[in-house]
């Protein structure tokens, strides 16, 4: 992964969105004027992240790890609804990454939404979207599923990425209400891929075999939901454990593939998907049914 050649930044307090666009254009022009060769903005999406303050460090680390993999405009929305004032503070950066004899830029817009301004995030995102490109929404933490922020941003997004392992409650039934509006991804589900590959490779024997699952709540519930839905039978409840593990007929399985994917890799993979993941939807609904949530 290449480090950015240059980073141009700007920040402002109580800003208007027009100012943000103007500053982005100025920063792009600044780099070009400094004669660092032919530069261009190539975007394949707008990446919106809803990041409550307690998730900000983790979100920034994940984005840092993704570096230039997805040339995009990234808009991080940090809500501060309890703030006494109603205003938007902005930190923006234009980062240039080497691309052959040219360089390509990614734009990072971090908006802190204070007070009332945190109530209608879609109205803040819409003017900043890049036309005609898909919008990916990464929702950090547990959404308030009937809150205006979730409802509005899901409406704007083509794909919503959550991580149900970040939730206090496994609220798959409420998440399922978004399935018809946007494609939904779950990082907890993405972590199961090596296990799913391994289990799929055991067909047809696995059809009737005894399967025991243990692991973190979200991953274990989704894996169990998936197996129950696909094999059309009920498996025993998953045991709680820090690490995911599966036994088939008493034999411990090893997941396929090497190593554990980083949060950046997992998010990056989700940003490459477009269509609805019906198998996930089915697994999440089965998990909801089996766990009664």
Binding site for another protein (CB under 8 A): 40, 42, 44, 68-71, 97, 99-102, 104, 193, 196-197, 199-200, 203-204, 206-208, 227, 230-233, 257, 277-280
Comparing CB distances to another protein, the nearer of 42 and 86 is 42
Comparing CB distances to another protein, the nearer of 40 and 240 is 40
Comparing CB distances to another protein, the nearer of 119 and 202 is 202
Q: What is the DSSP string of 144-188?
A: -TTSHHHHHHHHH-SEEEE-GGG-SS--HHHHGGGTTTSEEEEHH
CA atoms of 266 and 191, how far apart (whole Å): 8
Q: How many CB atoms lie within 10 A of CB 208?
A: 10
Q: From the CB of 98, what's the least distance to another protein, in Å?
A: 9
Q: From the CB of 94, what's the least distance to another protein, in Å?
A: 14
Q: From the CB of 75, what's the least distance to another protein, in Å?
A: 20
Q: In what order do the strands lie in the sheet with 245-248?
A: 239-240, 211-215, 245-248, 251-252
Comparing CB distances to another protein, the nearer of 89 and 186 is 186
Comparing CB distances to another protein, the nearer of 127 and 257 is 257
Q: From the CB of 232, what's the least distance to another protein, in Å?
A: 6
- What is the distance in angstroms between the CA of the first residue and the CA of the last residue of the chain? 41
Q: From the CB of 254, what's the least distance to another protein, in Å?
A: 15
Q: From the CB of 115, what's the least distance to another protein, in Å?
A: 38
CA atoms of 15 and 229, how far apart (whole Å): 50
Comparing CB distances to another protein, the nearer of 101 and 252 is 101
CA atoms of 124 and 126, how far apart (whole Å): 6
Phi, psi of 188 (to 5 degrees): -60, -40
Residue 152 tokens read as 């509005």
CA atoms of 141 and 285, how far apart (whole Å): 20
């Amino acid at each position: 992964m290449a480090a950015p050649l240059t980073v141009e930044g700007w920040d402002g307090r109580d800003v208007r969105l027009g100012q943000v666009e103007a500053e982005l254009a100025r920063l792009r022009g600044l780099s070009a004027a400094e004669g660092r060769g032919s530069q261009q903005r190539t975007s394949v999406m707008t990446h919106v992240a809803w990041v409550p303050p307690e998730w900000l460090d983790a979100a920034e680390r994940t984005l840092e790890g993704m570096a230039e993999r997805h040339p995009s405009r990234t808009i991080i929305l940090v809500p501060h609804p309890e703030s006494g004032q109603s205003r938007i503070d902005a930190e923006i950066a234009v980062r240039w990454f080497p691309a052959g004899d040219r360089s390509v830029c990614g734009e990072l817009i971090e908006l802190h939404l204070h007070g009332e301004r945190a109530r209608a995030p879609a109205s803040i995102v819409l003017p900043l979207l890049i036309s005609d490109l898909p919008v990916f929404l990464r929702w950090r933490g547990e959404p308030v599923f009937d809150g205006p922020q979730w409802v509005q941003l899901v409406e704007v997004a083509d794909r919503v990425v959550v991580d149900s392992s970040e939730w206090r409650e496994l609220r798959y039934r409420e998440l399922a209400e978004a399935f018809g509006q946007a494609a939904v991804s779950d990082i907890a589900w993405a972590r199961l891929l090596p296990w799913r590959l391994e289990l799929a490779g055991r067909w047809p024997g696995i059809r009737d075999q005894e399967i025991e699952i243990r692991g973190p709540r979200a991953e274990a519930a989704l894996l169990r939901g998936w197996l129950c839905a696909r094999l059309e039978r009920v498996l025993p409840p998953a045991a709680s454990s820090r690490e995911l593990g599966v036994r088939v007929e008493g034999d411990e399985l090893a997941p396929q593939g090497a190593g554990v994917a980083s949060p950046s890799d997992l998010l990056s993979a989700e940003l490459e998907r477009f269509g609805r993941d019906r198998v996930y939807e089915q697994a999440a609904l089965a998990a909801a049914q089996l766990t009664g949530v």
